[in-house]
C-alpha cells in the first residue's frame, strides 16, 4: 500500500477516512446488493483491527421463538450493508444456526475451541453465501460433554472482541442458564425474540427478570447489597422480596447510596425486543405493551425494534435449508429484517419508545 | 415486609411518575396521540392482558388502570392539561416559546386560514347570540391599524400582525353602537375582549392564527384566568396589545398596560420579581 511510508498516526487517520468512505458508499447503496466490499477487502481487515466489533446477542427465554431465524437474517443484512460479520452459534446442545444460513456444519465447532482442542477461533470460521459473513457453528457434542469444558467460556467474549469484524451476532440458547445470561449482558446489544403467546411472554419476562437482577449484581455496590440481590433471585425468598420495587425499597432502607448506583445501572441498560409471528395489529401492539410493562415493573427502558409476520416463507426456507432472505428475497419478511437491522443501527426509529 | 405496589415504588421513581409517563407518551403529544395511547394503555393493563401475563396481578392492573383513567381525564381536557403542565413544569407553551412562535411566524408565510366567511363555514358562534349582528346590515372591514412604527427588533411580532391584517381583512356586520363603544373604550377586561372578538366574527383559532398567540392563552385572557400562564406582567401586556391590534381596538399600548396592571393589582398574576 502507498501509505506504508507515512507516519503511523497519519496512517491511522488515512485508514479511518477510508473506513468512512466505505461506510458512506455502502449506506447509499441499496441493501440487497451484496459484496460491494470485495474490492476493498484488504483495507477492511486493517480497519477492523482498529475498531472493536459490536456484539449482538439474540435470546428469547423460550425455545422455538425464532432466535436462530432472526440471528441468521440480521447477520445477512449486516453483511449486505457492507459490514464484516461473524455469526456465532452458542445454542450449545441445540445448534442449528448453520441450517438457517444454508451452510453445512463443518468438522470444527465452538465446542472444539471451548474444550481447547483448537487454539484459534479463526480456525472455526465457515464461509457462507455472503462474502462478508463468516459462521462459527454450535457444538455437535452432547450437552453433558460441553458442561465439563466451559473453562474457556468466560473468556469467549473477550476473545471475540479481538476478532477483525464489524459485527458479531450471537445466537443464544433457550432458558436462563448462567452462560446465556453472561453472554447476553456481555454483548453490546441484547435482542429478545418474543411471540404473542402467554408461554413466550412468561418466559421472556423470566429472562428479563434474570438479566435485570444479574445486571444489578454486577453493579458497584457493597457486599451486603449484593447478598440481598442474590437472595431476591429466589422468588420465594425469606426477605419477602417479590418485585423489583420490593428489592429497591429494601436496598433504599439499607443503603441509599447503593440504591442510586443500582438505579443508574438500570437506567443505562436498554434491551431490545422483536415480536415474531404476528398475525394482527393487536399482536404488533403487544410489543409496545411489553415495553410499557417493563418500564413500570422493572424500570427498564426496552426498545421495540420491530416485528415479523407469521409467514409461510419461514418454514419453506427451513425446509429447503436456506435463509429466508436468500430463498425469498422479495418476501415481506426480507423487508422486515431490513427495517429491524436499520433500527438496530439507529438509522430509523423503533416502534417504542 | 408489607407487599408493595410494584408500580408506584422503586424503579419507576427514576423518571418521576407523571400522567405522560403513565400513558407512555411525551409531554408534547397531540390530542390524537393521547387518545391512542390511552386506548393502548387500557388494553395493556386490562384483566387477563397478555402483555402483563405472569408479572402483574389483577390487583396491580386495577390500580394502574385507575392511574391511566386519571391521566387521560386530565390530558384529554386542554385547559386541565394546561394547568397540569404548568404545575408539573412541562411547560409546553411558555411565554418564551410563544415569543419564539411569533418570531417564526414572522419569517414564514401566513398560515392563517382565510377568515373570509369563516363564520359561515364553521359557524363557531352558533351558540352565542349577540345583538350587534342583527341590528345593522352594513358590512364593514376591520384591519385599519395604527400607522406603522419604525422597525424595532423588539416589536417584530407586532409588525407581523400588521402585515397580515393589512391585506387579509375580517368581514363582519357593523353595529354603530358597539363600534362607538370600542372607539371610546378606556378600560379593558377579558369579557370585553371576547365581546369584540365575537362581534367581529373572529373565532379563537382565527385570532390565534393572526396573533400567533395560542388559543388556550387567548381564552385564558378572555376569562382573566391568568395565574398559571403568566409569570410576568410584561408578557401579558404584550399579548393583550397584539390582540387589540388584531381586533382594531384603539390605543393598544395604553389599554394593554392598564389591563396588565389591573390584573397584577387584583392578584390575578404574580407581581414581577424583576
pLDDT one-digit tens code per residue, A178-192: 888 889 999 999 999
Whether the pLDDT of residue A143 is over 50: the answer is yes
Which residue has cell 388559543? B215
Among A194-208, B159-173, B182-196, top mean pLDDT goes to A194-208
Calculate mean pLDDT across residues A229-239. 84
From B24, B41, B56, residue closest to A297, measured CB to CB? B56
**Fold (topology level) of B10-88:** Helix Hairpins (1.10.287)
The domains located in chain A, with CATH, are: 31-196+277-292+309-344 (3.40.50.300)
Which residues in chain A touch residue B4, judged by CB atoms under 8 angstroms apart? 243, 245-246, 249
Average pLDDT over residues B207-216: 85
Shortest distance, CA A214 to any CA of chain B (angstroms):
16
A249 touches chain B (CB under 8 A): yes
Q: What percent of chain B has pLDDT over 90?
A: 7
Say whether residue A256 is in contact with chain B using an 8 A CB cutoff: no
Listed by start position, the domains of chain B span 10-88, 95-265
- Residue B111 makes CB contacts below 8 A (sequence gap 6+) with B105, B209
Q: Is the pLDDT of residue B257 over 80?
A: yes
pLDDT band at A24 (very low <50, low <70, confident <90, very high): very low
Q: How far is B70 from chain A (nearest CA, A)?
A: 17
The answer, for A299 touching chain B at a CB cutoff of 8 Å, is yes
pTM, entire model: 0.62
Task: Write the residue in A246, A289, A293 that is nearest to B1 by C-beta.
Answer: A246
Q: Which residues of B touch A (CB under 8 A)?
A: 1, 3-14, 21, 24, 40-41, 43-44, 49-56, 64
For residue A240, list chain B residues with Cβ-Cβ distance below 8 A.
1, 3
What are the pLDDT digits (tens) for A253-288?
888 889 999 988 988 899 999 999 999 999 999 999
Task: Decide if A300 touches B, using CB distance below 8 A.
Answer: yes
For residue A84, the model assigns a pLDDT of 94
- Which of A197, A245, A352 is closest, CB to CB, to B10? A245
Closest approach of chain B CAs to the CA of A258, in angstroms? Answer: 13
Here the cell at position A18 is 477510508
Could you tell me which residues are beta bridge partners of residue A90? A172
CA angle (B188 as vertex; B183, B192 as ends), nearest 5: 80
Rounded to 5 degrees, φ, ψ at B200 are: -90, 10
Long-range contacts: B255-261, Cβ < 8 Å, 24+? B255/B185, B255/B186, B255/B187, B255/B188, B256/B188, B258/B186, B258/B187, B258/B188, B259/B187, B259/B188, B259/B189, B260/B233, B260/B234, B260/B236, B261/B233
Cell of B59: 390487583
Task: Decide if A241 touches B, using CB distance below 8 A.
Answer: yes
Q: Are B43 and B49 in contact (CB under 8 A)?
A: yes
Residue with cell 382594531: B248
In this complex, the residue of A249, A298, A353 whose CB is nearest that of residue B4 is: A249
Amino acid at each position: 500500500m502507498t501509505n506504508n511510508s507515512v507516519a503511523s498516526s497519519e496512517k491511522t487517520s488515512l485508514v479511518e477516512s477510508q473506513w468512512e468512505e466505505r461506510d458512506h458508499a455502502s449506506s447509499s447503496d441499496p441493501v440487497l446488493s451484496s459484496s460491494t466490499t470485495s474490492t476493498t477487502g484488504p483495507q477492511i481487515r486493517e480497519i477492523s483491527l482498529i475498531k472493536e466489533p459490536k456484539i449482538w446477542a439474540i435470546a428469547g427465554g423460550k425455545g422455538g421463538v425464532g432466535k436462530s431465524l432472526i440471528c441468521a437474517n440480521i447477520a445477512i443484512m449486516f453483511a449486505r450493508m457492507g459490514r464484516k460479520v461473524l455469526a456465532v452459534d452458542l445454542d450449545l446442545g441445540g445448534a442449528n444456526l448453520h441450517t438457517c444460513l444454508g451452510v453445512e456444519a463443518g468438522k470444527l465447532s465452538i465446542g472444539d475451541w471451548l474444550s481447547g482442542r483448537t487454539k484459534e477461533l479463526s480456525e472455526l470460521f465457515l464461509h457462507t453465501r455472503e462474502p462478508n459473513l463468516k459462521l462459527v457453528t454450535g457444538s455437535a457434542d452432547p450437552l453433558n460433554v460441553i458442561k465439563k469444558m466451559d473453562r474457556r467460556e468466560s473468556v469467549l467474549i473477550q476473545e471475540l472482541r479481538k476478532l477483525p469484524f464489524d459485527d458479531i451476532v450471537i445466537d443464544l440458547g433457550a432458558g436462563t442458564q448462567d452462560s446465556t445470561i453472561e453472554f447476553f449482558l456481555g454483548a453490546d446489544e441484547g435482542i429478545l425474540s418474543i411471540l404473542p403467546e402467554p408461554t413466550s411472554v412468561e418466559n421472556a419476562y423470566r429472562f428479563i427478570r434474570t438479566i435485570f437482577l444479574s445486571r444489578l449484581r454486577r453493579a458497584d455496590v457493597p457486599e451486603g447489597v449484593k447478598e440481598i440481590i442474590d437472595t431476591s433471585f429466589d422468588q420465594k425468598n425469606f426477605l419477602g422480596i417479590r418485585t423489583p420495587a420490593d428489592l429497591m425499597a429494601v436496598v433504599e432502607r439499607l443503603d441509599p447510596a447503593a440504591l442510586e448506583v443500582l438505579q443508574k445501572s438500570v437506567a443505562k441498560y436498554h434491551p431490545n425486543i422483536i415480536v415474531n409471528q404476528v398475525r394482527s395489529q393487536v399482536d404488533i401492539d403487544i410489543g409496545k405493551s411489553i415495553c410499557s410493562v417493563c418500564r413500570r415493573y422493572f424500570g427498564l427502558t426496552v426498545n421495540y425494534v420491530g416485528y415479523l409476520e407469521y409467514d409461510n416463507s419461514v418454514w419453506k426456507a427451513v425446509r429447503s435449508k436456506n435463509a429466508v432472505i436468500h430463498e425469498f428475497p422479495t418476501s415481506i419478511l426480507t423487508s422486515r429484517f431490513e427495517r429491524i437491522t436499520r433500527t438496530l443501527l439507529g438509522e430509523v426509529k423503533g416502534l417504542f419508545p | 415486609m408489607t407487599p408493595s405496589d410494584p408500580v408506584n415504588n422503586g424503579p419507576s421513581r427514576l423518571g418521576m411518575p407523571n400522567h405522560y409517563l403513565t400513558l407512555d407518551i411525551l409531554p408534547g403529544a397531540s390530542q390524537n396521540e393521547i387518545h391512542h395511547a390511552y386506548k393502548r394503555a387500557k388494553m395493556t393493563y386490562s384483566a387477563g392482558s397478555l402483555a402483563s401475563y405472569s408479572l402483574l396481578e389483577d390487583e396491580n392492573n386495577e390500580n394502574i388502570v385507575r392511574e391511566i383513567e386519571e391521566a387521560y381525564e386530565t390530558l384529554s381536557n386542554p385547559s386541565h392539561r394546561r394547568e397540569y403542565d404548568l404545575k408539573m413544569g412541562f411547560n409546553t407553551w411558555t411565554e418564551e416559546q410563544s415569543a419564539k412562535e411569533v418570531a417564526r411566524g414572522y419569517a414564514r408565510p401566513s398560515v392563517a386560514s382565510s377568515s373570509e366567511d369563516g363564520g359561515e363555514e364553521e359557524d363557531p358562534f352558533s351558540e352565542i347570540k349577540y345583538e350587534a349582528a342583527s341590528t345593522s346590515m352594513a358590512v364593514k372591514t376591520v384591519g385599519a391599524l395604527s400607522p406603522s412604527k419604525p422597525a424595532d427588533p423588539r416589536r417584530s411580532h407586532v409588525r407581523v400582525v400588521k402585515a397580515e391584517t393589512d391585506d387579509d381583512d375580517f368581514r363582519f356586520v357593523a353595529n354603530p353602537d358597539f363600534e362607538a363603544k370600542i372607539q371610546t373604550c378606556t378600560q379593558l377586561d377579558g369579557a370585553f375582549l371576547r365581546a369584540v372578538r365575537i362581534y367581529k366574527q373572529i373565532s379563537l383559532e382565527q385570532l390565534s392564527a393572526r396573533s400567533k398567540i395560542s388559543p388556550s392563552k387567548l381564552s385564558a385572557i378572555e376569562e382573566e384566568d391568568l395565574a398559571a400562564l403568566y409569570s410576568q406582567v410584561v408578557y401579558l401586556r404584550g399579548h393583550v396589545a397584539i390582540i387589540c391590534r388584531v381586533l382594531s381596538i384603539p390605543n393598544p399600548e395604553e389599554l394593554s398596560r392598564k389591563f396588565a396592571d389591573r390584573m397584577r393589582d387584583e392578584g390575578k398574576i404574580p407581581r414581577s420579581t424583576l
